[in-house]
Amino acid sequence: MTHRFSPVELFAGTALVLLLVTTGGCGEPGGGGDHTDRSSGMTTALLAEISQLEDRRTPVADRFDHFSAHPDPAVRTRAALALGRIGDPRSAPLIQRLLEDGDPVVRGEAAFAAGLAADPALGPALRLRLTDEDAQVRGLAVQALLRLGPGDEGPGPLAALLLEGIGSHTGDDLVMLLGNAWRLEGEHGLTGLLQEWAAKPAESGGAERLSAIYSLARSGEPAAAPLFIRLLSDGDPVVRAMAARGLGVAGARGIDPAVAGAAVAGLLSAEEHWLVMVEGWGALARLGFTPKSDVLCRAMVDQHPQVQTAAIRAAGRFPDAGEDVRTWLATLLGADEPGVAPDAAEALARLGDPRGLSWGLDASRSPEPVRRGDAAAVLAHLSTDDGARAALRSLLGDESGSVVRGALTAVAGAGRSVEFQEDITRILIEGRDPLTRAAAAEALGAAGDPVSSLLLLLAADQRESKQKATDCRLSVLGLLARHPDNQDAVQAVQRGLQSRERLIRQRAAEILAGWGRRSEVPDGVCEARGKPQLDRYLRAAELYHRRVRAIIDTAHGPIHLELFPKEAPLTVLNFLDLTEDGYFDNIRFHRVVPGFVVQGGDPEGDGWGGPGYAIRCENNDLHYGRGMVGMALSGKDTGGSQFFITLAPQPHLDGRYTIFGRVVEGMDLVDRIRRGERISTVRMMVDPA
């Protein structure tokens, strides 16, 4: 099938405005919106000092008091962002002061920082910004308030306040309100405003219309289902894609799946835009609506890898699919393209087809660890077959840690953790590496197991406290969080407050707060890369005024990136250092989610690996449009080497994952990457100052 719309053209024109709304102080990355230059008070030494304090997550009062009163607005702006990233409640008075700054760029960054800090104490100061003279400041205040959430009073009062303060406006602040309204769950007064704007004609709705459609689709508002069906025939492919997604999400909220499914299936019978097709197949899978076999079979051999992958994965969700669909899936078991055969085998396994079982059993005996890991994902869906069960048990004892982790993830994802609880507990206690034990902890958590296994976890927690295995300890804490009434669990979490690692202390404090046991995170300097010296921060600061580029060489050709050292200096420096060490050479793209992201940078190849250390998040007010490069996480401040590239705008990731670059050439090549393909190498270019 040919496609009328080139992937490179996706989101061109007015559609780009949709979810790349540029509000806030930074403007274009590294460009005209920045208020610093070489003659300003923002010296390299000052940048390095702020980065170091931010990296230590320590709001040194006298220094930040000095920064927040600095005569240069660039320094005050950078200080506001640092305080938000640190997220310490003691920073609230300084953020509040910066919210009242005379410079709108500073106020905007302070509003963004308040959203990052997630401190309810900043709510009143943010509400005052809803009447700010600057529309960008108002928009960032709206976003921050919605990130803070409604609190105990419920969504109604906050929605009413925002509706009164912003609802009659047009421009950046209204776009931000409409585009973030999905963050308010439950019934609230913004729903009517969203539908009003979403229903406007394309020529008069502008960015407000697109943002409203996004929020409705994101939340799957059932009342918007008739509107979504109408929008399936919109002239803008972005709108059609969002409408299809909205119907799929709404299917879980009570709308008639037959009506919604028939509308989406009708769209797919004639659709030629790849993103619309990807979202359409995802929607049908959620709705459980079986399409016509010829339409599905055609999509499963589509020339666009994103469409083909989405259709194959959806096929396994249609138990009423005809024999021709199963025959096509069986044919694809012999495909040469990476990832196609495992996806087809998993779809057949979901359908209970014996050809899926046969492929899974053969793959479980493969000499290649990657293929054995794929086998686990297939066999986990065959719960009634003794052979599949035995093969899974063998994979849980595999000599390869990545295979064991793959089997653990597959078992948990298929809802079979209880069945394999004894095997999982053994891995947790006897596992050879902390990554595998972390996967076992998460799988055991999926089983909802009570105190019997919890006591074993406590023993594992004590052993892990002697190792630098942050991911494992975080997984253990996550499981302990399920047992607020168990005294051993409470004591173990309280011990986490004394950890040398701030991540552990912070997570323990969050769990205790969730249990109604308020506790502050104890002070203590703990930097992300062991104990990096000041020269590291100086190196990052020296990149501030430079153009930093990277080229990712793949089998499809070179992908050119522009990196953002002003917005994410330590993340860019980390990527630079890893590249110079050849770290990314021959590493797989281990995760590809059609229409969402392509992800790589994991030496383990299964999503669990990293460089052996963690770096801090450098969340910024850039936006996740198509082709943005972000740092993958397993929780706040857990980045390392894994990165992703967005295949379409993903506004819900804004402010949650560090954006440190964007694709400037070769996005059509990113679209063609399949799971399992490798990075040949990464090359860096840093222009002179």
Q: What pLDDT score does 1 carry?
A: 33
Residue-range domains of the chain with CATH: 7-12+532-686 (2.40.100.10), 14-202 (1.25.10.10)
Could you tell me the CA-to-CA distances from 93 to 82, 110, 618, 680 in Å, in that order? 14, 11, 22, 49
In which band, very low, low, confident or very high, does the pLDDT at 4 lie, cut at 50, 70 and 90? very low
Burial class (CB in 10 A: 0-12, 13-18, 19+), 628: buried
Does the pLDDT at position 20 exceed 50?
Answer: no
- Gap between the Cα atoms of 345 and 457, Å rounded: 35
SS in 3 state form for 645-682? EECCCCHHHCCCCCEEEEEEECHHHHCCCCCCCEEEEE
Q: What pLDDT score does 22 carry?
A: 32
Q: What pLDDT score does 525 carry?
A: 43
- Gap between the Cα atoms of 578 and 550, Å rounded: 12
In which band, very low, low, confident or very high, does the pLDDT at 531 lie, cut at 50, 70 and 90? very low
Q: What pLDDT score does 402 carry?
A: 93
Token pair in block for residue 78: 């950078």
- Gap between the Cα atoms of 180 and 35, Å rounded: 27
Does the pLDDT at position 532 exceed 60?
Answer: no
Mean of the pLDDT values across residues 541-546? 91
Q: What pLDDT score does 60 carry?
A: 78
Q: What pLDDT score does 428 carry?
A: 81
| Chain segment 115-147, per-residue pLDDT in tens | 999 899 999 999 999 999 999 999 999 999 999
Does the pLDDT at position 562 exceed 70?
Answer: yes
Does the pLDDT at position 515 exceed 60?
Answer: yes
- Gap between the Cα atoms of 194 and 167, Å rounded: 10
Does the pLDDT at position 18 exceed 60?
Answer: no
| Chain segment 601-634, per-residue pLDDT in tens | 999 999 988 998 889 999 999 999 999 999 999 8
Mean of the pLDDT values across residues 78-87? 95
Query: What is the length of the chain?
Result: 689
User: Phi, psi (5° rounding) for residue 54?
Assistant: -65, -45
Q: What pLDDT score does 275 carry?
A: 96
pTM over 0.85: yes
Does the pLDDT at position 681 exceed 50?
Answer: yes
Q: What pLDDT score does 637 carry?
A: 86
* 458 compared with 633, residue with greater pLDDT: 633
Q: What pLDDT score does 452 carry?
A: 46
Nearest partner of 412 among 424, 400, 422, 401, judged by Cα: 424
CB 575 within 8 A of CB 550: yes
Q: What pLDDT score does 205 carry?
A: 78
Query: 498-504 long-range contacts, Cβ below 8 Å, gap at least 24?
Result: 498/522, 499/465, 499/473, 500/524, 500/526, 501/470, 501/473, 501/526, 502/57, 502/526, 502/637, 503/470, 503/474, 503/614, 503/635, 503/636, 503/637, 503/638, 504/470, 504/473, 504/474, 504/477
Does the pLDDT at position 15 exceed 70?
Answer: no
Nearest partner of 281 among 313, 305, 251, 252, judged by Cα: 313
Does the pLDDT at position 38 exceed 80?
Answer: no
DSSP for 281-327 reads HHHHHHHT----HHHHHHHHT-SSHHHHHHHHHHHTT-TT--HHHHH
| Chain segment 306-320, per-residue pLDDT in tens | 999 999 999 999 999
| Chain segment 416-428, per-residue pLDDT in tens | 988 998 899 888 8
- Gap between the Cα atoms of 21 and 371, Å rounded: 42
Q: What percent of the chain has pLDDT over 90?
A: 63
CB 31 within 8 A of CB 547: no
- Gap between the Cα atoms of 363 and 371, Å rounded: 6
In which band, very low, low, confident or very high, does the pLDDT at 530 lie, cut at 50, 70 and 90? very low
DSSP 448: T
